[in-house]
Amino acid sequence: MTYKEYKQIISDAIIEYCNNGGSLLNIALNNTRKEYIYDFDYFLPEDQKQILIDKAHQAMQKDKDLPEGIRLKKVIFL
């Protein structure tokens, strides 16, 4: 999944959060919890899924494409 693809998913989640009364300030100060929902291209054991999720989070922090085999499906700000 490319940076541009998952950036749009995150942007849509931020808009939904703000439309429901959430605050951009809380997001900026990292005061909100986020839940990332992923799809996997093939079956993996839970420990392998967690490794791939960790690599995906690292890639997102660096604005890079996600590793092969994982796709961000949705982000929920809590």
Domain boundaries, the chain: 3-77
Q: Measured between alpha carbons, how far is 24 from 42 in angstroms, rounded to an integer?
A: 36
Token pair in block for residue 30: 């990292």
Query: Is residue 69 within 8 Å of residue 42, measured between CB atoms?
Result: yes
What is the tens place of the pLDDT at every residue in 1-51?
999 999 999 999 999 999 999 998 988 888 889 999 999 998 989 999 999
Q: Which residues, in sequence order, are CB contacts of 6 under 8 Å at separation 6+? A: 60, 66, 72
Phi, psi of 36 (to 5 degrees): -100, 130
pTM, entire model: 0.83
